[in-house]
């Protein structure tokens, strides 16, 4: 049989793409460039993988992050060489901290070019070194059976790590020598060799199965049980995480058995489910600001599921307590900035609850401890309903309660950092409406927020509401380009207080000579004109009634929509302060 003429870069990239597809990769976010031509052509020719194109790599990285978040699926990002690769760093950091499987494929010049001062050439060797779970430079393509098998094996190892072994982003660097085009042949290969490019199954001699085993010390688990049996005063904290559904039921069941209150973070989903809300406390941030309350009510044991909590007052409370504190999350990670953890269990939270429920034979604790928390929660709720949910337009905190009332069931909310996620944590009530909440709380950047929300809307195919401040909106204005074409409506609620409102609560705000210029950074941007530049629909909200009607209209449209509320951060802080002080007085 006649040998086949191929371009070795494209053949090499095709082997990569086939292996990715064989390992279940279905999405790739690609940015234009020349050096990545072979990668781009190989992805473009693969029907199993859906492609998204973003001009701006920073936006592409965050869009990929949003896609990956929804179902924790692997998402590929492809870039050219040079600074394009560095643009991905913020999204990679966030993926690292949130353990999301981004598979980064950067094109590079061949070895030696860096030393020669070649164009668009930087040192890409393990560029993301401190925030990556695996790195491999793939070397210059060589079309031998062994080399291709090795390439496929390495890809498989990387994807396995990103999904199962040590979840998070992984990086493959691809140096290529010209030519890059399909008809620019470099090699002739034997037809029998074609099967190494085949899609079907991934190379069979190497297979790591996803593990369902959770490693934990049996002795520690025994200690935990004995602590639970010993102590009446316990608290369950449910930190931010997109938990599997059965966890909600299990944790409520566990809390019911122990008579422990559950402090449910706004970003934990727990406040938004039709399941039982028994023992669930949403208003703890406010009542833990009361020294009278927190000095008197200190637990002996804490079970903390998921990530670090959003609430600063809860963090302060935790830092002040000497007790047995057990963390439980899928990876055994430490999410405890107060740094007084007894042990961290590597356990799926729902499985952990099940195990505990099975093993606990103890008689029920008394109700008194739980009642103290439930009582404080309901007093706070009454005050919240008066001060926040009836606050005058355009108080920032009320935007949260309005959105939760208006948002259709089964939608998503993406929370930007700074005040939106905090206000949400302070004020989002318990409701039976099922809403899925997302955040970029891994590194809490105010960058990439619009692109992340766009990725969430695209992958979930569900109406997605983004709550963002003006600075975060400005940071990711490039994201509006990809946000324009999502397959489900993306409604951006732009809370415009003309600068970084959060800085007003910092002690530096008193230093008038530096505060406005270096911290608040008012910009007077015209967001109407900016949104129009991306052909988006923009509405300036005039009052709460107008917000209601505009929101309802927005849920029926399909394109990019921005509802801008011009707020006053000082007035908004005064309302929060009034609320907290009323809670303090009432407890
Ligand atoms: C990438 C990045 N740069 C800087 C910061 C520091 N930072 C925290 S909050 C904030 C201001 C955010 O302003 P905005 O989005 O308008 O929200 P607001 O504070 O007004 O609620 C900044 C710059 C950050 N978190 N991330
Ligand atoms: Mg702002």
C-alpha angle with apex 185: 32 to 12, nearest 5 degrees?
60
The residue contributing the CA closest to ligand 1 atom 13 is 500
Half-sphere exposure of 192 (CA within 13 A, CB side): 2
Q: How many Å apart are CA 141 and CA 173, to the nearest integer?
A: 12
Confidence category of residue 360, pLDDT binned at 50, 70, 90:
confident
State yes or no: pLDDT of 364 exceeds 90.
no
User: Among 199-213, 227-241, 269-283, 286-300, which is the least confidently predicted range?
Assistant: 199-213
The residue contributing the CA closest to ligand 1 atom 26 is 445
Cβ neighbourhood burial of 98 (10 Å; 0-12, 13-18, 19+): buried
* Nearest in space to 124 (alpha carbons), one of 74, 84, 75, 65: 84
Mutate to test the pocket of ligand 1, among 90, 421, 446 (most ligand atoms within 8 A of CB): 446
User: Among 135-139, 401-405, 555-559, which is the least confidently predicted range?
Assistant: 555-559
Instruction: For 535-563, write each residue's pLDDT tens digit.
Output: 999 999 999 999 999 999 999 887 799 99
- From the CB of 447, is ligand 1 less than 6 Å away? yes
Q: How many Å apart are CA 42 and CA 501, to the nearest integer?
A: 46
Instruction: For 29-74, write each residue's pLDDT tens digit.
Output: 999 999 999 999 999 999 999 999 999 999 999 999 999 999 999 9
Range 154-174 average pLDDT: 95
- From the CB of 419, is ligand 1 less than 6 Å away? yes
- Does the CA dihedral 291-296-300-302 come out positive or negative? negative
The residue contributing the CA closest to ligand 1 atom 21 is 419
Evaluate whether 36 touches 78 at the Cβ level (below 8 Å): yes
Evaluate whether 464 touches 47 at the Cβ level (below 8 Å): no
Confidence category of residue 203, pLDDT binned at 50, 70, 90:
very low
Q: How many Å apart are CA 351 and CA 528, to the nearest integer?
A: 49
pLDDT of residue 207: 37
- Mean pLDDT, the chain, rounded, equals 93
- Predicted TM-score (pTM) above 0.75: yes
- Protein residues placing their CB within 5 Å of the ion ligand 2: 469-470, 497, 501
Q: How many Å apart are CA 485 and CA 72, to the nearest integer?
A: 22
User: Among 202-211, 327-336, 565-574, which is the least confidently predicted range?
Assistant: 202-211
State yes or no: pLDDT of 202 exceeds 90.
no
Q: How many Å apart are CA 210 and CA 17, to the nearest integer?
A: 21
Evaluate whether 437 touches 462 at the Cβ level (below 8 Å): no
pLDDT of residue 539: 97
Q: Which residues contact 343 (CB under 8 A, 6 or more apart)?
A: 217, 220, 223, 224, 326, 327
State yes or no: pLDDT of 208 exceeds 50.
no
Q: How many Å apart are CA 580 and CA 563, to the nearest integer?
A: 28
pLDDT of residue 115: 81
User: Among 87-101, 179-193, 482-496, 541-555, which is the least confidently predicted range?
Assistant: 179-193
- From the CB of 446, is ligand 1 less than 6 Å away? yes
């Amino acid at each position: 049989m006649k040998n086949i003429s191929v371009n070795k870069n494209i053949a090499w990239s095709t082997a990569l793409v086939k292996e990715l597809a064989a390992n279940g990769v279905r999405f790739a976010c690609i940015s234009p460039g020349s050096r990545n031509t072979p990668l781009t052509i190989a992805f473009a020719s693969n029907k199993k993988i859906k492609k998204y194109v973003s001009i701006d790599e920073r936006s592409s990285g965050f869009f990929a992050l949003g896609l990956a978040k929804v179902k924790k699926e692997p998402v590929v990002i492809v870039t050219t060489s040079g600074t394009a690769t560095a643009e991905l760093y913020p999204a990679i950091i966030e993926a690292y901290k949130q353990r999301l499987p981004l598979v980064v494929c950067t094109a590079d010049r061949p070895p030696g070019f860096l030393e020669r001062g070649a164009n668009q050439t930087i040192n890409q060797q393990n560029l993301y070194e401190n925030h990556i779970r695996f790195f491999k430079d793939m070397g210059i393509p060589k079309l031998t059976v062994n080399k291709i098998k090795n390439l496929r094996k390495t890809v498989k190892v990387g994807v396995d790590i990103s999904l199962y072994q040590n979840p998070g982003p992984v990086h493959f660097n691809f140096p290529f020598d010209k030519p890059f085009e399909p008809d620019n042949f470099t090699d002739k290969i034997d037809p029998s060799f074609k099967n190494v490019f085949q899609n079907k199954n991934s190379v069979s001699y190497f297979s790591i199965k996803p593990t369902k085993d959770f490693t934990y010390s049996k002795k520690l688990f025994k200690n935990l049980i004995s602590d639970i049996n010993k102590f009446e005063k316990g608290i369950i904290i449910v930190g931010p995480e997109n938990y599997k559904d059965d966890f909600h039921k299990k944790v409520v069941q566990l809390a019911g058995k122990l008579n422990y209150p559950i402090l449910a973070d706004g970003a934990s989903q727990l406040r938004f489910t039709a399941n039982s809300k028994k023992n669930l406390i949403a208003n703890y941030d406010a009542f833990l600001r009361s020294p009278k309350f927190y000095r008197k009510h200190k637990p002996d044991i804490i079970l903390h599921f998921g990530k670090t909590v959003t609430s600063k007052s809860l963090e302060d409370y935790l830092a002040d307590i000497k007790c047995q504190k057990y963390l439980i999350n899928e990876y055994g990670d430490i999410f405890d900035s107060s740094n007084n953890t007894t042990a961290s269990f590597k356990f799926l939270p729902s499985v952990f609850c099940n195990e505990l429920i099975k093993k606990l034979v103890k008689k029920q604790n008394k109700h008194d401890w739980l009642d103290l928390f439930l009582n404080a929660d309901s007093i706070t709720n009454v005050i919240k309903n008066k001060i926040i949910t009836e606050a005058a337009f355009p108080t920032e905190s009320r935007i949260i309660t309005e959105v939760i009332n208006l948002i259709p069931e089964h939608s998503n909310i993406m929370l930007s950092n700074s005040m939106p996620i905090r206000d949400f944590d302070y004020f989002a009530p318990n409701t039976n409406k099922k809403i899925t909440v997302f955040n970029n709380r891994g590194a809490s950047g105010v960058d990439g927020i619009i692109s992340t929300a766009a990725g969430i809307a695209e992958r979930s195919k569900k109406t997605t509401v983004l709550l963002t401040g003006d600075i975060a909106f400005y940071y990711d204005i490039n994201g509006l380009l990809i946000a324009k074409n999502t397959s489900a409506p993306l409604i951006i609620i732009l809370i415009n207080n003309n600068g970084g409102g959060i800085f007003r609560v910092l002690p530096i705000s008193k230093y008038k000579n530096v505060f406005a210029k270096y911290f608040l950074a008012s910009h007077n941007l015209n967001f109407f004109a900016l949104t129009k530049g991306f052909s988006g629909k923009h509405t300036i909200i005039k009052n709460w009634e107008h917000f209601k009607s505009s929101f309802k209209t927005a849920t029926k449209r399909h394109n990019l929509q921005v509802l801008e509320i011009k707020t006053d951060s000082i007035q908004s802080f005064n309302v929060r302060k009034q609320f907290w002080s009323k809670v303090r007085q009432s407890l």
